[in-house]
Amino acid sequence: MVSQELIEILRCPACVRETEGLLEYYKESWFICQDCGRKYPIREDIPVMLIDEGDKWVETAKEDLPIPPPEK
C-alpha cells in the first residue's frame, strides 16, 4: 500500500509545471491525473510515474483499467 504521505505529495510529471497536476488514488492500483487524464500504474506498491507509462493508459476509461495493473 502506498503511504498517505506519498499520496499527498505526488503530482503528474507531465502537468505539474503548468497546473497543479493533482492525482486521484484509484483502487490502490492507479494514480489518475485530474488535469490530463494520464493514468500511472502502481506495481508492487511503487507508483510508476513515467510520462510514457501514463500515455499508454490515457485513452482507457477509469472503469476499464485492469486491477492490478499488468506488469508491463
pLDDT, one tens digit per residue, over 6-64 is 999 999 999 999 999 999 999 999 999 999 999 999 999 999 999 999 999 999 999 99
**pLDDT for res 4:** 95
Q: Which residue bears the cell 507508483?
A: 47
E-strand stretches of 1-72: 23-26, 30-33, 39-43, 46-47
- Residue 21 region, left (φ>0) first, then alpha (ψ -120 to 50), else beta? left
**pLDDT for res 1:** 84
* 4-64: in CATH 2.20.25: yes
**pLDDT for res 62:** 96
- Name the pTM for this structure: 0.93
The CA distance from 72 to 69, in Å, is 8
The dihedral formed by the CA atoms of 43, 22, 25 and 39, expressed in degrees to the nearest 10 = -50
Is the model's pLDDT at 72 over the cut of 80? no
